[in-house]
Structure 1
Amino acid sequence: MTNKVIHAIYNDDDVLMDAVKATRAAHHHIEEVYTPFPVHGLDKAMGLAPTRLAICAFLYGVCGISFATWMMNNIMIVDWPQDIGGKPSFSYIENMPAFVPVMFEMTVFFAAHLMVITFYMRSKLWPFKEAENPDVRTTDDHFLMEVELKGSEEEAVSFFKSTGAVEVKVIEKH
């Protein structure tokens, strides 16, 4: 089954924001918005749910500090205790002030690297993946709003022209 979508192209981010609000007010379903740079407030205007990536970052940081604690305890206390700089190696707690920089760095390392992997997986950005950008101009200076077409094509085209679109196309999607 094929369905049609409308590609409304804008050349100003403020006009795009007003068009997104008008489109949502008219109860059209916005499939996607392609922009050459992040537009502040666009996610709220589109009605997208808040991101949960911050929760993932916290959990990855907890994994990092846990791994660092386990690693330093096993290496420096259990497996190969050494007297470095006069610091006793009887217990982890006694040596913990010396381990704080390592714990911090491992927390940041885990959070940063696992967040990048999570972002790529969540965004479905795999190596060698073909670009899904419907119009090349959206990587330079134009904004594209892809809207599911319901009802009359003529009414929809005139609606999007009235929102400030410089170009409106009806495309068949497979």
Structure 2
Amino acid sequence: MAAKVLHAIYNDDDLVLQAVKQIRDENYHILEVFCPFPVHGLDKAMGLAPTRLAITSFLYGLTGLTVAVLMMNFMMIDDWPQNIGGKPSFSFIDNMPTFIPIMFELTVFFGAHLMVITFYMRSRIWPFKEAENPDVRTTDDHFLIEVEVANHSEEALVKFLNDTGASEVKLID
């Protein structure tokens, strides 16, 4: 059986940030907050862990750099060395200044494309996925906080959410 959830709708971003802090102080469980735009400090107020996407971006960039070095070493030095413009291809180190643009481009290419794929997988955003937005107004100018009722009194929680400045509170079964 799914737990009951209350949807509290707010009209102002400062109000929703303050409400999240008050709800967490009273030890209620916030399932999700839906906003039409990013609210600075909301992730910290909700107690979310910092993202590790920067680490994966760095690793993807290193992967791209490694692929670039191995690819150029194989193609230009081992497989088919050519004397281009009087610069013989006897070693990778001697020709590395000419390879720098390719190394940079593949580092950025791998980092950017793999980060997009990682973000979509982590956010569970798949092609042709239906939107999970519980209220259409949150894409325009309203903010919604989903609070789990669980072991708390429903009436007390509704009164508390109204006291935090919610313009409306709805029970979702």
Q: Return the TM-score normalized by structure 2.
A: 0.97
Please give the secondary structure, in 2, of the residue aligned with 1:37: coil
| 1:121 CA drift (Å) | 0.3
> What is the distance in 2 between the residues matched to 1:84 and 1:62?
28
> What is the distance in 1 between the residues matched to 2:3 and 2:43?
25
> What is the distance in 2 between the residues matched to 1:166 and 1:99?
60
> What is the distance in 2 between the residues matched to 1:11 and 1:83?
68
Q: What is the match of residue 157 of structure 2?
A: 156
Structure 1 runs of 4+ off > 2 angstroms? Answer: none
Q: What is the match of residue 114 of structure 2?
A: 114
| 1:71 CA drift (Å) | 0.5
Aligned residues: 172
| 1:50 CA drift (Å) | 0.6
Q: What is the match of residue 23 of structure 1?
A: 23
Q: What is the match of residue 36 of structure 1?
A: 36
Q: What is the match of residue 141 of structure 2?
A: 141
CA offsets per residue over residues 106-138 of structure 1, 9 Å max, x none?
000000000000000000001111111000001
1:162 partner letter: D
Q: What is the match of residue 71 of structure 2?
A: 71
Q: What is the match of residue 129 of structure 2?
A: 129
| Structure 2 segments unaligned to the other structure (5+ residues) | none
| 1:96 CA drift (Å) | 0.4
Q: What is the match of residue 11 of structure 2?
A: 11
> What is the distance in 1 between the residues matched to 2:44 and 2:87?
54
CA offsets per residue over residues 67-99 of structure 1, 9 Å max, x none?
000000011111111112222200000000000
> What is the distance in 1 between the residues matched to 2:85 and 2:13?
59
> What is the distance in 2 between the residues matched to 1:2 and 1:105?
49
1:56 partner letter: T
The RMSD of aligned alpha carbons is 0.8
1:158 partner letter: K
| 1:2 CA drift (Å) | 2.9
1:132 partner letter: E
1:51 partner letter: T
> What is the distance in 2 between the residues matched to 1:159 and 1:104?
55
> What is the distance in 2 between the residues matched to 1:26 and 1:74?
62
Please give the secondary structure, in 2, of the residue aligned with 1:3: coil
1:38 partner letter: P
